Chain A
Amino acid sequence: MSEQFSRRDFLKLAGVGAATTAILTGCGPASRYVKREPYMQMPEYNYNGQSTYYATTCRECAAGCGLIVRTMQGRALKTEGNANNPLNLGKTCARGQATLHGLYNPDRVTDPVKRTRGSASTTAVDWDAATQVVADALKNNKPEEIAFLMGMAPDHLFDLVTDLANTTGINAPVRFGALGMFESRATLSKAAENLFGEARMPFFDVGGAEVVLSFGANFLETWISPVSYTRGFVGLREAKTKLRGKFIQLEARMSSTAGKADEWLPIRPGTEALVALAIGRLASELRGGPMPRAFSSVDPLDAASKSGIKLEMLEHIAELFSGSHVALAIPGGSALGQSNGLTVAEAVLALNAVADNFGKPGGVYFSPLAPNQTAYQSPASAKEMQDFIQKMADGKFKVLFVHGVNPIFELPASLDFKGALKGVEQVISFATFPDETALESDYVFPDHHGLESWGYQRVITGSNQSVLSGSQPVVSPFYNTRATVDVLVTAAQLAGGAFATALPFKDEVEFLQSKVAPLMSEADGFFSAADLNTFMASFQQYGGWWKLSDGRGVPGTADVLNRNMDGAEAEFAGEGEFFLVPFVSPTLAEAGANKPWLQELPDPTTTVMWNTWVEMNPETAHELGLEDDDVVRITSEAGVLEVPVYRYPAIRPDTIAIPYGQGHTAYGRYAEKRGVNPTDLLVQHFNEAGDLAFAGVKVKIEKTRQEAASFPP
């Protein structure tokens, strides 16, 4: 050895080596200057075999449930609910559990790429070039030619683009999600605006009620905030302070939610408004006093004959409803997805006025406004998306940025988002997974997975408190992905001018801090701090910030019943003999199909896995000569689908139902070429609030000679 190399030097170097290795293999948010805060004050990475737990926010839907993720040596092992978060109080749904199958999905987009639209092959680009592409797209187009289409999560990115739009004059970002479409969120907020004067998201206090009357709201499956509403349902059944609550669900097909009801009433699709008004009339009669104007024109006998629900049953419900001190009526799901969905929503909300439950336990509230939230912005309705798509097709947009949504799969094919993309010169997708829209884009600049991301999500409903759920990376990015906020911030600097002034941030964390900092001066937070670093540390450690007080609002009720309400039946598109009810798969929802364990979860009502089926009453199937697994051809005005039959005992004989969630043509090996997408059958048929009348379509059924592959053969 020519040089002196003492044992001590060797150990020093070895120590340095070990430390470097620890950083590289550890899950530090590479190149960030902020330290992440473990949920508990555990030594980070110091002990082999010890887990570290991080609080973050679930991105599988937009509800904003808090998660605690168990990590070990830089890998995420298990998600649990964050017991502190007032929305989900430590609980998760199946999709929240399976989020790790998204993080470690074998089919993620691993690098930024350029592609010829529609082609599977891509050319890799580096992130400098990618950022330059975004900068050029911002700089070289007129502001009105730049459009952003975003998903319902995450909110911090939406806020960033909103700020960008406000300063630079580019189009305000449009948000869309299939869950929002099937929940008819625009209808719900429009109805609240018409009745109560404020377009706020109503919160239904199921837990405090004694009688719950739900018109199609599938609140135990995917509806708006299912984990929170499940807790409400438990309260309905088990609260110690009152009798065991009764639950009645009216819908044409028994959903998993209706399966928990005491009474399921197979109402004829399109008569929901009529039935709600009839129940209102009967209940008002029982309560005595003058008949409210809203119910004065409806004839219960007529409602009974049109809806297929016996008059005695309507009277029985009215008796339950008026006899209870705390009765609650919930509009949702397929009841609002009718051509008269807004009337249905108003009629059902008006029932709550009969029960006089506004702002009372067991009644209707306004959800608290989340921190940073000025007003509830419902996501774009299908009608607004139609306008957006028209602008695309007309060449009004030169560049389209897509993040957090897969419109080719999530919007009905009849709206032809895919075709309209031809009118857009440049499409840039920030997709984490190779979905259908990413396949039709010029560039894919992949964002991190939600568990690798910073951010926050506003809790729109489900908690009594005002909640901002916070996200932090629980593992370092697995692939060569980059946070979209970082890409936009850097690109805005490169583009210069108004863009640079709009986003004067060093990176995503600085942006996040700028949004979170105002909360420090807010009263009533469950933690507070004098300086920003301490505040952010707590924000990360606890997984968000929320107020301690009850922030729910009381809907203004003055005029609810003093208005004319029209019980006319809904109009249906198409000539077929069957009503079509598309429903969101409770386990897959809109983006779960690429997660193998979600595919292998049995559907809660049929127990089917890995496929799509059409539910049909056994009597109907018998008349048509159909058995389980026979393939039928279903035709609407918009399209044709071939799908195997499942004889479902709890559906009207004149109705068929198909779950939404499968039928991908891209989106990874577990999703592709599996099942069908029922939105292919949906025509451009809207309700008064602009939401899609997805349950307002009639279809024809033909038997084919095929039989679905069944096992054993």
Chain B
Amino acid sequence: MIRPEEIKLSSEENGKWGMVIDQDICTGCQACVAACAMENNISFVGEEDSGYGRAMHWIRIERFWEGEYPEVKMTPRQPMLCQQCGHATCEPVCPAFATVHSQAEQLNLQVYNRCVGTRYCANNCPYQVRAFNWRDYQRPEPLSNQLNPDVTVRRMGVMEKCTFCIQRIHKAQDQAKAEGREVQDGEFTTACAQACPASAIVFGRVDNPESLVSQLAHKGHGVKHLEELGTLPNVTYFKGG
């Protein structure tokens, strides 16, 4: 049952689930990338396809260089993942309605069994966070024992991307519903945030002003990437310095 106050909250804010990433403390250790791959059954593509840029990281750590030796600096590491835009550029270009906006979670969904592989969405994503299955990538036995039964295994010709671990969201919601309560802040989190040794990634309800992620997001010095495109991202970054 939806309670009246929940409707009010949702209508006030752009989306329910959000993330804050603190680049000042991200060490670029890749724990989030590995955790994401393990949670979400992401295929590894091997050396050759990696060389073609087909590795299917749903989250990646960007780093750039500033200056020249010896005054060279590595820019603060920037974990980049689907920004779960409120006004996503990937959505209107899909001819198959495979990339649609979820009203319930305010997320960008990727419906694998609708996807016909036009790759228009990846073309149109300003964050370049979508990964395409160029092949049926092999998992030699018994590696498949590790697959997460809560997450679909994708096949060739299908686009995929970060889902904010929607399987975890649903599991927490089901649990809360069974116990007749609301999902508590911090009750669960995404795989990347859970692994992050620096706790640089914080995930939660951005429409709940009491939640940690809301309080961080409203701290003032957060930025949203490519905000000028009007994409209304749900991920806030703190620039390192």
Query: B49-66 CB contact bits vs A (8 Å, 1 = yes)?
Result: 011100101001101010
B197 touches A230 (CB 8 A): yes
| Chain B residues near A238 (CB-CB < 8 A) | 22, 24-25
From B27, B34, B142, contact of A230 by CB (8 A)? B27
Which of A49, A96, A587, A710 meets B51, CB within 8 Å? A710
**A100 partner, pick from B29, B146, B200, beta carbons under 8 A:** B146
Which residues of A, 74-114, contact B by the 8 Å Cβ criterion?
Answer: 75-81, 88, 90-98, 100-101, 103-106
Instruction: Judge whether B194 is part of the interface by a CB distance below 8 angstroms.
Output: yes
Residues of B within 8 A of A605 (CB): 28, 63, 74
Contact (A77, B195) CB under 8 Å given A602-B30, A611-B47, A653-B69: no
Residues from 645 to 681 in A contacting B, C-beta threshold 8 Å: 649-651, 653, 669, 674
CB distance from B78 to the nearest CB of A (A): 12
Closest residue of chain A to B195 (Cβ to Cβ) is: A92
Residues on the B chain within 8 Å of A461, using CB: none
On chain B, the residues within 8 Å of A88 by CB distance are: 197
| Inter-chain contacts of B31 with A (CB < 8 A) | 91-94, 96-97
With both beta carbons as reference points, the residue of chain A lying nearest to B140 in the complex is identified as A106
Residues of B within 8 A of A611 (CB): 47
Which residues of chain A are near B11, meaning CB under 8 Å? none
B72 near A650 (CB under 8 angstroms)? yes
Chain B residues near A91 (CB, 8 Å)? 31, 195-197, 199
CB of A71, distance to nearest CB on chain B (Å): 11
A322 contacts partner chain B, Cβ-Cβ < 8 Å: no
Q: Flag whether B129 is at the interface (Cβ < 8 A).
A: no
A496 within 8 Å of B (CB atoms): no
Please tell me if the beta carbons of B37 and A597 are within 8 angstroms of each other in the complex. yes
Interface stretch, picked from A193-201, A220-228, A345-353, is A220-228
| A94 with B74, Cβ < 8 A, contacts A75-B145, A710-B51 known | no
A597 touches B38 (CB 8 A): yes
Establish whether residues A80 and B27, one from each chain, have CB atoms under 8 Å apart when the complex forms.
no
Is B44 at the interface (CB under 8 A from chain A)? yes
With both chains docked as a complex, state the minimum distance between the C-beta of B43 and any C-beta of chain A, in angstroms. Answer: 9
**Residue B149 at the A interface, CB < 8 A?**
yes
Interface pick from A252-260, A292-300, A514-522, A549-557: A252-260
- State whether A604 and B28 are in contact (beta carbons under 8 Å apart), knowing that A599-B44, A610-B46, A711-B48 are contacts in the complex: yes
CA distance A604 to B191 in the complex (A): 19
Give the docked Cα–Cα distance between A599 and B146 (Å).
17
Interface 0/1 of B70-88, CB less than 8 Å to A: 1011100100000000000
Considering residues B24, B55, B61, B73, which has the most beta carbons from chain A within 10 angstroms of its beta carbon? B73
Distance between A33 CB and nearest chain B CB, rounded to angstroms:
27
Of B55, B141, B149, B198, which contacts A234 at CB under 8 A? B198
Contact with A along B186-228 (1 / 0, CB 8 A): 0000010011111110000000000000000000000000000
State whether the Cβ of B128 lies closer than 8 Å to any Cβ in chain A: no
Q: Is there an interface contact between B50 and A609, defined as CB atoms closer than 8 Å?
A: yes
The interface on chain B, measured as residues whose beta carbon lies within 8 A of the other chain's beta carbons, has a size of 53
With A220-B27, A233-B27, A234-B199 known as contacts, the answer to whether A80 contacts B143 (CB < 8 A) is: no
Q: Which residues of A contact B198 (CB under 8 A)?
A: 230-231, 233-234
A627 CB contacts on chain B under 8 angstroms: none
Known: A94-B34, A97-B38, A609-B55. A649 touches B68 (CB 8 A): yes
B144 surroundings in chain A (CB, below 8 A): 104
Q: Indicate if B91 sits at the interface (CB-CB under 8 A).
A: no
User: Is A250 an interface residue when CB atoms closer than 8 A count as contact?
Assistant: no
Nearest to B37 among chain A residues (CB) is: A597
B55 / chain A contacts, CB cutoff of 8 Å: 600, 602, 609
Assembled-state Cα–Cα distance A26/B194 (Å): 27
User: Interface size on A (CB < 8 Å)?
Assistant: 71
Residues of B contacting A439 with CB < 8 Å?
Answer: none
Most buried by A among B28, B68, B141, B194: B28
In the bound complex, what is the Cα–Cα distance between A91 and B38 (angstroms)?
Answer: 15
> Is B160 close to A, CB under 8 A?
no
| Distance, CA A264 to CA B31, complexed state (A) | 24
Smallest beta-carbon distance B151→chain A, Å: 10
User: Contacting B149 at CB < 8 Å: which of A72, A94, A710?
Assistant: A72
Find chain B residues with CB under 8 A from A649 CB: 65, 68-69, 72
* Choice from B63, B65, B145, B197 contacting A93 with Cβ under 8 Å: B197
Contact A650 B74 (CB under 8 A): yes
Decide: B29 and A93 in contact? CB cutoff 8 A: yes
Chain A positions 578 through 614: 1 when the CB is less than 8 Å from some CB of chain B, otherwise 0: 0000000011000000001111111011010111000
Whether A214 is near chain B, meaning CB under 8 Å from some CB there, is no
A596 to B70, Cβ gap below 8 A?
no
- Report A230 CB to chain B, min CB distance, Å: 4
Q: Per a CB cutoff under 8 Å, which of A221, A264, A610, A619 touches B29?
A: A221
Chain B, residue nearest A222 (CB)? B29
Contacts of B51 in A (CB 8 A): 709-712
Q: Which residues of B contact A257 (CB under 8 A)?
A: 27
Neighbouring A residues of B69 by C-beta, 8 Å: 266, 617-619, 649-651, 653
CB atoms of B148 and A81 under 8 A apart: no
> Which residues on the A side are within 8 Å of B140 (C-beta)?
106, 669
Question: Judging by beta carbons under 8 Å apart, are A98 and B50 in contact?
Answer: no
A376 contacts the other chain (Cβ, under 8 Å)?
A: no
- The answer to the question of A478 belonging to the interface, with a C-beta cut-off of 8 Å to chain B, is yes
Asked whether B24 lies within 8 Å of A237 as measured between CB atoms, the reply is: yes
| Interface residue ranges of A314-356 to B (CB < 8 Å) | none
Cα distance A97–B63 when bound, in Å?
22
Residue of A nearest to B33 (CB): A601
| B172 beta carbon closer than 8 Å to chain A | no
Q: A609-B47, A610-B50 are in contact. Are A104 and B143 (CB under 8 A)?
A: yes
A80→B25 contact, CB < 8 A: no
Taken together as a complex, chains A and B put the C-alpha atoms of A92 and B194 apart, in Å, by 9
Kindly state the separation between the CA atoms of A264 and B70 in the bound complex, as whole angstroms: 9
Once the chains bind, are B24 and A602 in contact (CB under 8 Å)? no
Q: Which residues of chain A come closer than 8 Å to B38, judged between CB atoms?
A: 78-79, 97-98, 100, 597
Bound CA–CA A611/B47 (angstroms):
8
Q: Which residues of B contact A256 (CB under 8 A)?
A: 27-29
Residues of B with C-beta under 8 A to A600: 37, 44-46, 50, 55
B10–chain A nearest beta-carbon distance, Å: 30
Contact of B148 among A78, A101, A230, A617 (CB under 8 A): A78
Residues A260 and B27 in contact in the complex (CB < 8 Å), given A91-B196, A649-B68: yes
Beyond the given pairs A91-B199, A98-B34, A709-B51, 8 more chain A to chain B contacts, judged by CB atoms under 8 angstroms and listed by A's residue number, are: A91-B31, A100-B38, A104-B143, A257-B27, A259-B28, A478-B145, A596-B44, A596-B46
Shortest 9 CB-CB contacts between residues of A and residues of B? A711-B51, A259-B74, A97-B34, A610-B47, A94-B34, A230-B197, A106-B140, A604-B28, A91-B197
B residues near A, CB below 8 A? 22, 24-25, 27-31, 33-35, 37-39, 44-48, 50-52, 55, 57, 60-61, 63, 65, 68-70, 72-74, 77, 140-149, 191, 194-200
Q: Spell out A's residues near B (CB within 8 Å).
A: 49, 72, 75-81, 88, 90-98, 100-101, 103-106, 220-221, 226-227, 230-231, 233-234, 237-238, 254, 256-257, 259-260, 264, 266, 478, 586-587, 596-602, 604-605, 607, 609-611, 617-619, 649-651, 653, 669, 674, 709-712
